[in-house]
Amino acid sequence: MNNRLILSITIPVLMITLLFVMSLAITVGAANINWQTVWQIVIYELPYIHQWIDSSWSDSTETIVLDIRMPRVILAAIVGAALALAGAIYQGVLRNPLADPFILGVSSGASFGAALVFAFGLQVVWLGKFTLPVVAFMFGFGTLMVVYFLARIGQKVRMETIILAGVVVQAFIGACLSLVMALANEQLQTIVFWMMGSLTLTDWSYNQIVLPIILICALIALFYSRELNMLGLGEEVAHHSGVSVERTRFYLLILASIMTGAAVSVSGAIGFVGLVVPHIIRLIVGADYRLILPLSIFGGAIFLVGADTLARVLMAPRELPLGIITAFLGAPFFAYLLRRTKREYF
Amino acid sequence: MITIENVSKQVENKWLLNNVSFKVDEGACIGLIGPNGAGKSTLMKLLSGLEEPTSGTVKVLGKEAGKWSVKKLAQKVSVLTQDGLAPYPMTVYDAVLMGRYPHLSFFQKEGKEDYKRVENVLSLTGLESFRDQMLDTLSGGERQRVAIAKAMVQEPKVLLLDEPTSYLDIGYQVNVLNLVKEWQRRDQLTVLMVLHDLNLAAQYCDQLILLNNGEVIKQGTSEDIIEAETLQTVYQATPEIIRHPKSNIPQILL
């Protein structure tokens, strides 16, 4: 089956699934709202159409749907898509099946930045409530730069070296993070919860900031799928076929890390999405990045919206950290797929 | 086509190439031979723009190899290495199609013309029946044939081969080199190949260049190079030289 055919079938199916999971996610919670009302409220917001809809719902229902649950569900979709896509890119660039969006220290750096903000109550006046995401993002991205330039020898960066550099820098930042946590006292719990990932602190403004960043990076990254395939055939083969290997890898690592940084800065370090989703997609459609990249976007979004919904309802009214749910769901499913697949697939 | 002028290459105090000069004319098929560590593969890396010479110039189609952009160079030069394509789970068709990459811009997708070229090459290389097979299910010899098909689709002016047959059985050695030879004759391709097997080199190349310790020892036809005294000094082995009963080309016996 050719790629165009596969995408023309899978993308609409995944899109419908995503919309279904998202609307389901909006219906459940402390106040149960049926899904017709959810869709009516959403469609009512569209221009020209609202005159056809009878707005019989209460104001509080509308607030819950539009201002509380929807921004959170959409943010879950964006974060999930970004982490899965970034994971797929990292796995392709590093040619390492264990690679995930956090392997080069982006999340450790971001966590350290966030911990500093929490522990010392940092607040940059002109950033206001965005101090936390901005500081987390800067620290995450800064960490990647340190790792990259540490691994660079002459003009070249070897992939084994960059993974090792990632391990070293993460170990160091881990120590700094532990130190901050040891000094934090009262804020310790906040830091720990943030590190396990959560989408509790959400309103539309986070979406407005994160969406354009991730969207632009994702669009550019999609154009690199051909290059990722060529890197799969071997570094030298890619060079001889006309790919500027070093430059391509650098751009891809930057794109993936910006997406990861943006996602982590608003949601904390949600593990497993970026590792498992691209692998699941790969097990189903094969190793072609022209399929893996676009399908990971949808796969990640669906996975995280589902996981976040479970995090909200499983032990309601208490909310579970999202990272726990993603690992609980992802690990067994991944193990099942691994056992079922006889062929080597990476 | 290819001009190598006073080229030296030093890596960590070791001279891998020492003042090497030679030319390769358009449409020629030249074999680079010599013992391990003679500098053959280093020369190939300089020609494919993977590395830069310490001194001297390596010119491909009138311009220094390192000055071409990677993509532009790939439009003119195809390279086949001994490792060939990695056993990656990708179909033969997709792998061959990648040969069109240097001719496409970043945002451009492969078009009808590109697909036509791939079809043509698949039939020339006898790979039609393999088209939907995954590279990781093929043998080394079959993958090397796919690599040639990919190189053909690239439509280069120059083909560089770095020991393309070293891991292959005799059947595939001949098969791969016949494919290259037919292609060379058909398209007036310029070929420079590193070969360890002197008998194959003598049979398939118009001219041979013998390298040792980073220097050109001798350049000429197989008649000039495949002779006992020269080979003894370079390889420290004493081969018997006989004539091929059909082609009369000198061959060695150990």
φ/ψ of B23, rounded to 5, equals -125, 150
Interchain contact, B98 vs A234, CB within 8 Å: no
Distance from CA of A239 to the nearest CA of B (A): 7
Best of A233, A239, A245, A341 to disrupt the B interface by mutation (most B CBs within 10 Å)? Answer: A233
Q: Give A143-177 as a DSSP string.
A: HHHHHHHHHEETTEE-HHHHHHHHHHHHHHHHHHH
Pairwise CA distance, residues A302 & A294, whole Å? 13
B162: β partners: B194
- Residue whose pair of structure tokens reads 């036509």 in the numeric block: B116
**Closest Cβ–Cβ partner in B77, B101, B147 for A230:** B101
> Does A74 have pLDDT greater than 70?
yes
**Closest Cβ–Cβ partner in A242, A286, A288 for B71:** A242
pLDDT band with cut points at 50, 70 and 90 for residue A201 = low
Find the closest chain B residue to A220 by CA distance.
B107
- What is the CATH superfamily name and number for domain A3-340? ABC transporter involved in vitamin B12 uptake, BtuC (1.10.3470.10)
**Closest Cβ–Cβ partner in A239, A242, A287 for B90:** A287
Taking phi over 0 as left and psi of -120 to 50 as alpha, with beta for the rest, B155 belongs to: left
> Does A314 have pLDDT greater than 80?
yes
Q: What is the pLDDT of residues B201-233, one digit of tens each?
A: 999 999 999 999 999 999 999 888 888 888 888
Other C-beta atoms within 10 Å of A225: how many? Answer: 20
Predicted local confidence at residue A334, as pLDDT: 73
Q: What is the pLDDT of residues A26-66, one digit of tens each?
A: 888 777 788 888 888 888 877 777 777 777 777 887 788 77
Is the CB of residue A237 less than 8 Å away from at least one CB of chain B?
yes
3-state secondary structure of B47: helix
Interchain contact, A233 vs B86, CB within 8 Å: yes
A3-32 burial code (b ≥16 CB/10 A, e <16): eeebbeebeeebeeebeebbbebbbbbeee
User: Torsion angle, CA of A57/A59/A60/A62, rounded to 10 degrees?
Assistant: 70
Predicted local confidence at residue A184, as pLDDT: 80
Pairwise CA distance, residues B119 & B122, whole Å? 5
Predicted local confidence at residue A286, as pLDDT: 84
Distance from CA of B199 to the nearest CA of A (A): 28
Pairwise CA distance, residues B219 & B108, whole Å? 44
Residues 268-287 of A with CB under 8 A from B: 286-287
Distance from CA of B212 to the nearest CA of A (A): 25
> Does A339 have pLDDT greater than 90?
no
Interchain contact, B101 vs A344, CB within 8 Å: no
Query: Domains (ranges, CATH) in chain B?
Result: 2-86+155-253 (3.40.50.300)
